[in-house]
Chains A and B, each alone.
Chain A
C-alpha cells in the first residue's frame, strides 16, 4: 500500500510506441516487396534513411535539450516512410540528407513529436525534389538490378509526358512490377498492411477512403481510367500511411473526411493539370496546413448543447 495514484486506475495497453511499431509492421510486406523488385539498392536506401533519422533524432534532442525517446519507434518509422518515397537509384548521401531534413528541420525544429505541422517524410521528399531534381526523378526498371539498372519512368510520367514507353498493365501495377519510388509500387502489399492497420484500429477508414475515392471519381469524370489513377504513383501509400499521420491530420472523423477529400482533389488536379506527374505528396503537405482550420470547424457536438448555441 504505498503508491498513491489518480483515477482511472486501469489504462488501456495501447502506447505511442505500440502504434509506431504497428505502422512499421504494416509496412513490412511492402518493404520486402521493394527489396524483391529493386534489389540490394532498396535495402541500402532503407537502412541509410533509418540510420540517418535515428542519428538526427539523437543530435536534435541534444541540441534542443529534449528527452530522448528513441524507443518510441517514431524515428524508425519516419526513416522507413522516407525511403519509401525515394527512387531506388537515389545516391545514398541524398537519402541520408533526407533523414536529417525530416527529423531535424520538419519535426524537431517545430517542437518534436506531436508538434510538427508537416508530415516529416513527405516534406523531406519535397525538399529533395527541388534540390536534386535529376536524382529524384531517375527511376529504374523493377527486377533489372540483376542486369545493372535500366532506367525507366513511372506510369504517371509516361502518361503525362506522353513518353514512348510501354505502359505496365494494371495487374503489373497492382503487384508492383512498375517503375516508381521504393515503397509505392506494390498496391497489393501496401493494402495488406493497410488492412492490418484498420483491423488494429490504428487508423480509421475516413482519410484513405475519402482520398482514394475522390481521385477515382475525378478520374472517371475527366475521362481517365480510375483504376489506373488509384494504382499509379503513391496514392495507396500516401492515403493509408502518410495522410493518416495523427500529428498532421484532423482530430475528428468529419475533419478526416474533409481532409481526405481535399487531398484527393489536389492530387488529381496536380496529376491532370499540374507541372509534376504526381501530386500525392504535395497535396498532403498542402492540406497539412489546413488541419488547425479543419479542426476548428469540425469540433464534436457537445452533449446537451445544440450546434447553433455553441457557435453563439
Chain B
C-alpha cells in the first residue's frame, strides 16, 4: 500500500449499472491528428476524398507518434484546426457521413495471435493507432518494446479507475472480460512475460470471480492474479498501482520498466485485443457520461464524435450544471464548450454544479500539514507552492517538484483553498522551459 492519498466519495452508483450502449454513428466526426503524446500525425487524405470506416487517414510523423483512422465512412469535408478536450489545439480531419461508402475490411479476419512473433504483435498494435486510453495517450506500441538493458518481469492491468464518477473501465471489464483477458495474454506474449496482475479497487469486487473464471482457459502459460486494492485515490496512478501490487517503488524520475513492470489501462488492453486478434483499428472507445446529466450512461462512441451530440443523446444537462469536465473530477479538464470531438483518451464527460466550496478567495497557508500527509509522492506541497508563488523555481526544483504526479490531492484537502497543484504545475512548466 502506498502512503498518502485520499478517501473520497466515489459517486459511481450513478452509472455503474448502466450497460455499455452503442452511440449511433454520428453525421460528422472531427478526427484529431494530435490526440496522442508525441508528434502529430501526417494527414494522408485531402478535402473531398472518400474515406471508409477503419481507413488510415494519418500516419506517424516520427517514432513517438501514431496512426489515425477514420471512425465513419464518408467524405472529407475539411482539414482544419480545432480545440481538443485535452487542452491542445490540433489539426483535425472532418469527415461527413455519406451512404454508399463501404467500411474498410482490410485485415478484418480473426488472427491466430499465438503464432505471431512479439515483433508482429507490436507492429499490429502500432498500425491500429493505439494510444494509452486511461488519459495519458502515450503510443502503446512503444511500451511493448522493452528498451535495451531492461527486462519486463510482469504486466499490470490497471482496473482501478480511481477517479470518482467514472465507470467505463468497470463496464468494459464486466462485459468484455474475455476480450480483456485475451488482450492481456497478447501483451504477455509480446513482452515475453509470464506474470500478470489485474489490479482493481475494492468497490469493483464483484468482478473478481468472473475474471478468475477465464484464467482456466488461457492460451499461453501466464500466471494471472487479481488483486483487490483499497479504495484510495490515486490508486490508479501507475506508480502507486505498482507499489500496491508488487511492493516496489518506481525510482524517482524513472519509468515502471526500470523495475520490470509495464502497466496498461483496461481499454488499451481491449483495443490491443481488437487490433491483434480481430484486425480492428482503434476507432471507438467506451466513456462515461455522468453527473448532472439527465440519463447517465456508459457509451461506446466513435472517435471524433462531437461531445455536444453525446450530451444531447443523454438527455442534456440538468439545471444547476455549470462545469463541463472531460475526465474525472480530480484530474479532468474543464472545457469551455461542448463543441469538441471525443479523442482516444477521453475517459468521461462529467457535468458538475457550481463549486459548493468557493475557491475564489485564496487564503494564506496555515501550515496544517494536510497536504503533506496526503501527497502520495512524499512531497511537501505547502512549501513548494509558497516558493512557486514567489516564482522561485530553483527552490521548487530542489524540493523535487519533478516527481509531482499532479493528482490534485493537495488542492483537494487544503482548508485555505490554495490552488496548490496549479502552482506546482506552473513551476514544473517554468522549469521545463529552462531545461
Contacts and interface: CB of A to CB of B under 8 A. Distances in A.
A18 B368 CA distance: 13
B115 interface: no
B324 interface: yes
B330 A10 contact: yes
A9 B332 contact: yes
A69 B363 contact: yes
A18 B415 contact: yes
Interface in A7-25: 7-16, 18-19
Interface string B371-382: 011011111101
Nearest to A15: B415
B249 A304 contact: yes
Contacts of B337: 1
A11 B357 contact: yes
A305 B329 contact: no
A115 interface: yes
Interface string A211-254: 00000000000000000000000000000000000110111110
Interface residues of A, number: 39
A6 B403 contact: no
Contact of A8 (B254, B329, B354): B329
B400 interface: yes
Interface stretch (B35-43, B60-68, B406-414): B406-414
A185 B24 CA distance: 74
A13 B369 CA distance: 16
B366 A3 contact: no
Given A7-B330, A8-B411, A114-B367, A1 B380 contact: no
Contacts of B382: 251
Given A5-B355, A8-B331, A304 B251 contact: yes
Contacts of A12: 357, 412-413, 415
Contacts of B416: 15-16, 114
Contacts of B2: 303
Contacts of A109: none
B164 interface: yes
Interface residues of B, number: 63
A16 B415 contact: yes
A130 interface: no
B2 to A, nearest CB: 7
Interface in B208-262: 239, 243, 249-254
A60 to B, nearest CB: 14
A42 to B, nearest CB: 29
Interface string A268-301: 0000000000000000000000000000000111
A300 B325 contact: no
A304 B372 contact: no
A5 B359 contact: yes
Interface in B322-359: 322-325, 329-338, 350, 352, 354-357, 359
A7 B379 CA distance: 19
B366 A300 contact: no
B364 interface: yes
B368 to A, nearest CB: 4
A63 interface: no
B422 interface: yes
Contacts of A199: none
A10 B415 contact: no
A164 interface: no
A209 to B, nearest CB: 17
Interface string A144-181: 00000000000000000000000000000000000000
Given A251-B380, A304-B253, 15 more contacts: A1-B336, A2-B322, A7-B408, A8-B408, A9-B330, A10-B164, A11-B411, A114-B366, A246-B367, A251-B372, A253-B373, A302-B252, A302-B403, A303-B3, A305-B400
Nearest first, the 7 A-B pairs at minimum CB distance are A8-B408, A114-B364, A302-B378, A11-B357, A304-B252, A251-B369, A9-B329
9 contacts: A9-B323, A10-B330, A115-B364, A246-B369, A300-B375, A303-B2, A303-B376, A304-B251, A304-B403
Interface of B: 2-3, 8, 164, 239, 243, 249-254, 321-325, 329-338, 350, 352, 354-357, 359, 363-369, 372-373, 375-380, 382, 400, 403, 408, 411-417, 419, 421-422
